[in-house]
Structure 1
Amino acid sequence: MDAQWTFQSITSTLQVTGCHFGIKPPGWSYPKHHHHLTELVYCIDGEVTQQIGQENVLMRRGDLLLIKSGIKHATLNGASIPYVFFNLHFDLDDSDMRRILGAEPYRRIPGDAASRSRVPGYIGELERLLCRGIADSRTRGAASEQHVSLDAGQRLAVQAHTLLLVSEVMDLLGQPDGHAEEAAGPVPDASHFAADVAHRIEDLLSQNVYSDITVAEIAQAMNMSRYQCSKVFAHVYGVSPRQFLSRLKLNEAKKLLVTTDKPVAAIAELLGFHSATHFSRQFRRWTGQAPQHYRPKQ
């Protein structure tokens, strides 16, 4: 028998930046920011809240989180114990991989699913390669930042285990029992420049919830046409600036109706509506009920 199996040639580049293990005390936080690469976060111990866009995602021990490039997020350790984590920023110039990794703003894989995979083992091996003394530093409570130098063989091993880790995560994302959570939000394939512009538009919209600002005024503040402003924002967030602002106003209206005794007319004025009638009509369109009926009964 004379047989041969030939596989296609593979030429792909793995870029790894910001690869580190860390320990952060209770109350630690990191402000809202975004990266130009995919971010992988693995909670080794403790718990932490990741604020991604307008959502709060709680990570507990063993949970794994993938955050798409260009997505704004912030981190807060609101627990009473230290947060121990592994963090990796990476990019692969494989079009199929990029399409899958960029399909959603974020994907969370719960600890029970991750624990049944090779993810903990691969991260443990990266820990051995990168932070040979991390176990001792945890018990000592070391707070200093340590940079680890690697020789050529160790760098190759880190790349190999990073690829194995990403491969395992891709398998988990494709498994129906992996329970990966998806979030509605920014659409894939937004350029870094478009993401930066859209985030600045979001900041302006969020700062002007309590006003009657228009999309045209936002565009003028950004030195853009209204068409450009709406197009870039919708490309990144999947909704128009006007729809996004309406969501913000609805959330604020609900909060004011439930937590305060302000009259409907006062809430309408506070949120920048021209009249209580206009506000009531819009609120009914949003929720299907009048503002006064949304309030809890005393």
Structure 2
Amino acid sequence: MSSTYLPPLLGESVHEVFYPDVQTTVNLFAIHLRSVAADWDYPAHEHPQYELNYVTEGEQWMTVNGQIYKQKAGELLLIPPGSIHSSQSRNDQGFTYFCMHFDIDDQLFLSLLARIKQVLFSSDSPVTQKIEPVLRKLMNTAPHPTPSAMVQRMQLQSAVFELFGHLWEAVSQEVAQSFTDSYEKIELAHQIRNRLQGLVSQQFKQGRETDTHYGIDDIASELGISSSHCNRVFKQVFGQSPRVVLSEMVLHEAKLLLVNSTRSIQQISSMLGYKDIAHFSRQFKRWSGVSPSQYRLERANEK
């Protein structure tokens, strides 16, 4: 069933705090811990996912988009999607490394990662120090499989989400260094993002219209900043305007309702704050390229 939640009407709650919704899909590929010999030479290749590569023993010589990186034990490589890279042993010595490829549908997380131009992180960098303990946890699960494959998979996913949490925090700090106001802008952008999520979770689902400023002016006023500053800071951090991110949130909610509920498109339109189903249909098609009914039919045929 859909995760849609209908909150009480305004004024019925004495106090409440909205936590961010968790509606993220993570795909993990080719996770492995490998020791290689002195003649190791992996040819140039690319893939559409991010790659985390961590050397535990020896040295790896990794070429990424023509740039050679000498990766020592305890150092981390974060290779962006589409990067052409190859790996070699040198100095007549092998090495051991842990590698995982990941894809995540959280556009804010991806936009933040995309702002990191650094590929190699030393053992004493904040990024490496944040996620190294979780990488060790992941590596330690390999030699000791649990009796249940399902349990092992859940433990792996739990560790990966912990890793992403630390990676998000570390990357946020890295990005903050590029701003004159340092971490304060990152914190403000996250506050705006959380209020956008609250707007989707509460205002839209109480039948308010979605076509009047999208609530951005109100959010800026509540935070004591101008609308222009609100838009500027948010876009600096996440690479997208609040309006675009809010549209993506509403689209995601609409897709969940269309696929995971038996509600009519008229009901879904009303739940998301549209008084006119035709307006909702036009907006949905502009967002996704297909009508709500066509999207529902296509997803049903995939099951």
- TM-score, normalisation: structure 2: 0.49
